[in-house]
Amino acid sequence: MSDSHTQKPDLVTQLLPIEFRSISFNKSGNRLINNLSLTINSLGITIILGPNGAGKSILLRLLHGLDKPDFGDILFKDIAANYAIKRKQAMVFQNAVMLRRSVKDNLAFVANLHASKQEPDLLALLDEVGLYDKQHMPARRLSGGEKQRLSLARALVAEPELLLLDEPTASLDPYSVQMIESLLTKLQRRNTKIIFITHDLNQARRLAEDVIFMHKGRLESFQSAEDFFKNPNSKFAEAFIEGKLIF
């Protein structure tokens, strides 16, 4: 981690607790999120688990303000999202979106928006995700794993206090998965709140402090990771852990 990534223990508490109050979300006549309420208050990594189509991505998009709930409120320390709150968040998307620019210029784009980081900081970030040597390469030529590592680095340029990731490691090479996981662990220790979607149970075991389990647009369980894997309080979660629930 570059030295500019200093501790910000007081900052993270400005966004926590994150509270979903009776959230519902409809699209084309389908109820995709159904009356979901939960409060996230841990400083550790929160993992969202669930089978395909459970509504995990939509939940994260609602949290990030990319979609608006039809009913209910999402509150950050009792306040609805405003510009200041949004500026403290960053999201890594499932399909890495690469600007048609060099690797370094993908980071520079964000740095120029918020003028927070200088060139050496950007190079340090690239080094951290193993892309220092590829800084001049067109970003779209990177491999899948490299693209996702660059997405993560780009999300970190603005030093978010809340980092949201939507299956960033799905179908990546083991080296990239390992690098992303260790970077996330490091960030978490520096008090960046991380909420992370995966359907990889082993990854959840490695990283999670608490687990949100969703099924068909509903919150099925929200437990500490230890409880979730030992003693899940939902029969769907139990089936999922046993590998019996795919959809």
Ligand X SMILES: Nc1ncnc2c1ncn2[C@@H]1O[C@H](COP(=O)(O)OP(=O)(O)O)[C@@H](O)[C@H]1O
Question: Torsions phi, psi of 228, nearest 5?
Answer: -60, -45
The 10 Å Cβ neighbour count of residue 198 is 21
Q: Look at the block and give the residue holding tokens 């680095």.
A: 153
Write down the H helix ranges in the chain. 9-12, 56-64, 83-87, 103-114, 119-128, 144-156, 174-189, 201-207, 225-230, 235-241
- Of 27 and 230, which has the nearer Cβ to ligand X? 27
Which 107-126 positions form the footprint of another protein (CB under 8 A)? Answer: 109-110, 113
101 binds another protein (CB under 8 A): yes
Angstrom distance (rounded) from CA 193 to CA 234: 26
Candidates 53-61, 70-78, 185-193, 201-209 — which segment interacts with Mg ion by CB under 5 A?
Answer: 53-61
55 binds ligand X (CB under 6 A): yes
Among 27, 77, 87, 230, binds another protein (CB under 8 A): 87
84 binds another protein (CB under 8 A): no
27 binds ligand X (CB under 6 A): yes
Strand 193-197 and strand 45-49: pairing? Answer: parallel
Contact between 154 and 107 under an 8 Å Cβ cutoff? The reply is yes
Angstrom distance (rounded) from CA 124 to CA 2: 6
99 binds another protein (CB under 8 A): yes
76 binds another protein (CB under 8 A): no
Torsion angle (degrees, nearest 10) of CA 55, 95, 212, 219: 0
14 binds another protein (CB under 8 A): no
- Of 46 and 57, which has the nearer Cβ to ligand X? 57
- Of 110 and 196, which has the nearer Cβ to ligand X? 196
138 binds ligand X (CB under 6 A): no
Residue 32: which of another protein, ligand X, Mg ion, none does it interact with, CB under 5 to 8 A by kind? ligand X
Contact between 16 and 77 under an 8 Å Cβ cutoff? The reply is yes
Contact between 151 and 92 under an 8 Å Cβ cutoff? The reply is yes
Among 23, 49, 54, 62, binds ligand X (CB under 6 A): 54
Strand 218-224 and strand 208-215: pairing? Answer: antiparallel
168 binds ligand X (CB under 6 A): no
Residue 52: which of another protein, ligand X, Mg ion, none does it interact with, CB under 5 to 8 A by kind? ligand X
Candidates 32-40, 41-49, 99-107, 233-241 — which segment interacts with another protein by CB under 8 A?
Answer: 99-107
Q: Residue numbers of the site for another protein (CB under 8 A)?
A: 64-66, 83, 86-87, 89-91, 93, 97, 99-102, 109-110, 113, 138-141, 158
